[in-house]
Amino acid sequence: MSDTYYMDESNRIVAGRFSQQTNPLLDLLVTMPENSWQNIRQNTFQSAWLEPELRPPYLNGKASPEPLIRAWSGFAYDSSRHWLVLWGGGHANTSDNTPYIFDMLVGNWFYAFLPSDYHSLNSDNHAPICGGFRQPCSSHVYDNNIYLPLLDRFCTFGGAQHGDGGYLKLHDPANSYVYLRPAGAYLLDLNQAGQGLVAGGTGDNPKSGSYSGVNLAGADAWQLRDWFATGQSAAFGSAINTRTCHTAYRQENGHDVIYATRTSSTTKSLYRIEFHLDPAADVISRVGRPWNGNSGEMPAALDSQRNVYVMCNSGTVAAFVFWDLDYAGSTNNDQRVRYDSIAGDINDFFNDEHRTRMGIDFSQQLEQFVLWGNGGRLYYLTPPAGKPTSTNGWHIERVEPTGSARPMTRDELNNDGGSGVGIFGKWKYAADLGCFIGLQHALNGDVWLYKPRNWVDPRTLS
């Protein structure tokens, strides 16, 4: 292993280069035209990959990090460090559970921690060597990676895990890895990132080649929220043994709160999860139930001003459904966004080749949702005013960016070796920048800033 370091703007040493850094992102955004894109990547994601000997086993070889961007993936935006935190993999793509980071201040990718080795339960079922207690199993994450700023932790709920494609699980390594129960969320402490440590415990690392028999130092950086052992998961009801597909964040009453859906058959219920410093104090409640048959592994976002949670949907009758959180509770039905009276380019949206795999997030500045699905084109979605939130009166507008710089289309990605199955959680709004961040290309790891219309420098608002 070889490591280089730099000092960030808070004088912390992290992987990268030795140099004192300030935040150039807002200065860059000032110079960008409104409604335009800018790629800020310097090195490639592939150049930051761990050497194969340090990667976990996969099939007859070593796991590839390539699916971490390509396959059903998402990142979290760490606003305190201006980092994109990438973790995922999963199912029939890779066993790699290495966390990677893109530092937006210098434009560089680096690995945050070393991965965990695996114990094979059978040909299609695997568990981290710790049984899942110190590090999660590689997993498709869809729109499930998110940052908790008050606790200063990266958070993931997993999705379709390596091997069986199911929910994240716990096994007992002291008893032949017998299955114990579902795993809850995992939180990752990033304060030791970039120092060559195993994310889990000492010795959890894969041991092959020159590392055979070598126990590398662990950071114990992952924390399992073991809700299924404590009874805190009771609100999930029949959805406990299924996958979480999308999340949205808000601070409420001095706590990090995540709104998340968990699947049950083909329907999705909405849950509110309040995180505390003491995991035993976490509170989970059901705030919305399925009513309109919403389905598909689709992303979602929270309009924190209108208090509306909007989920993309796979159908043409209801391309979106929403829950009005002013009426949160176990009988709060999701509602369809109807198009009989909608203004805007809805037919263009339905016909867009990227529609069923778009990402969505909400801009507090715009007071609109913005959707992106590869290429430069975007869609602005505006809910109606008033309460209760109406199913009618929503406005969707196709927006073509200015300038020549833009992300690749699906065909361009395929032709360049950077293909992906969709955006999912690779699209986030950065409130501290007033812009959106998009990630694409499985090898390059291109990170795009999108400066929306009517952008206001956040420094003028403080």
Least confident range of 261-265, 289-293, 347-351, 457-461: 261-265
Q: What's the CA gap between 96 and 153, in Å, rounded?
A: 21
* 377-427 tens-digit pLDDT: 999 999 999 999 999 889 999 999 999 999 999 999 999 999 989 999 999
The DSSP H or E segment spanning 413 is helix 410-415
Let me know: does 284 contact 273? Beta carbons within 8 Å. yes
Structure tokens belonging to residue 389:
């939130």
Most confident of 18-32, 222-236, 251-265: 222-236
Q: What is the pLDDT of residue 210?
A: 95
Q: What is the pLDDT of residue 17?
A: 43
pLDDT > 70 in the chain, percent: 90
DSSP per-residue letters across 343-382: EE-HHHHHH-TTGGG-EEEEETTTTEEEEE-SSS-EEEEE
Q: What is the pLDDT of residue 282?
A: 98
- 3-state secondary structure (DSSP) of residue 275: strand
Q: What is the pLDDT of residue 357?
A: 86
Instruction: Count up the domains in the chain and report the number.
Output: 1
- Report whether pLDDT(193) > 50: yes
How does strand 427-430 pair with strand 435-440?
Answer: antiparallel
How does strand 283-288 pair with strand 36-39?
Answer: unpaired
Q: What is the pLDDT of residue 254?
A: 97
- Report whether pLDDT(205) > 90: yes
Q: What's the CA gap between 65 and 110, in Å, rounded?
A: 12
Q: What is the pLDDT of residue 438?
A: 98
Let me know: does 410 contact 416? Beta carbons within 8 Å. no
Q: What is the pLDDT of residue 262?
A: 77
- Report whether pLDDT(82) > 50: yes
Overall average pLDDT of the 218-239 stretch: 92
* 268-316 tens-digit pLDDT: 789 999 999 999 999 999 999 988 866 667 789 999 999 999 998 766 6
- Report whether pLDDT(18) > 70: no
- Report whether pLDDT(240) > 80: no
- Report whether pLDDT(320) > 50: yes
Closest CA to 312 of 302, 321, 325, 323: 321
How does strand 343-344 pair with strand 395-399?
Answer: parallel
**pLDDT band at 267, cuts 50/70/90?**
low
Q: What is the pLDDT of residue 402?
A: 97
- Report whether pLDDT(3) > 60: no
DSSP state of 196: S
Q: Domain containing 144 — which CATH number?
A: 2.120.10.30
Handedness of CA 25, 100, 299, 374 (dihedral sign): positive
Let me know: does 185 contact 141? Beta carbons within 8 Å. no
**pLDDT band at 67, cuts 50/70/90?**
very high
- Report whether pLDDT(454) > 90: yes
**pLDDT band at 241, cuts 50/70/90?**
low
Q: What is the pLDDT of residue 343?
A: 65
Of 14 and 62, more confident = 62
* Domain around 21: 5-460
Q: What is the pLDDT of residue 145?
A: 96
Least confident range of 23-27, 33-37, 187-191: 23-27
Q: What's the CA gap between 177 and 20, in Å, rounded?
A: 47
Q: What's the CA gap between 105 and 108, in Å, rounded?
A: 8
Q: What is the pLDDT of residue 261?
A: 87
Q: What's the CA gap between 280 and 196, in Å, rounded?
A: 31
**pLDDT band at 9, cuts 50/70/90?**
very low
Q: What is the pLDDT of residue 1?
A: 45
Least confident range of 18-22, 175-179, 204-208, 353-357: 18-22
**pLDDT band at 319, cuts 50/70/90?**
confident
- Report whether pLDDT(260) > 70: yes
Overall average pLDDT of the 153-158 stretch: 96
* 89-141 tens-digit pLDDT: 998 999 999 999 999 999 999 999 999 999 999 877 899 999 999 999 999 99
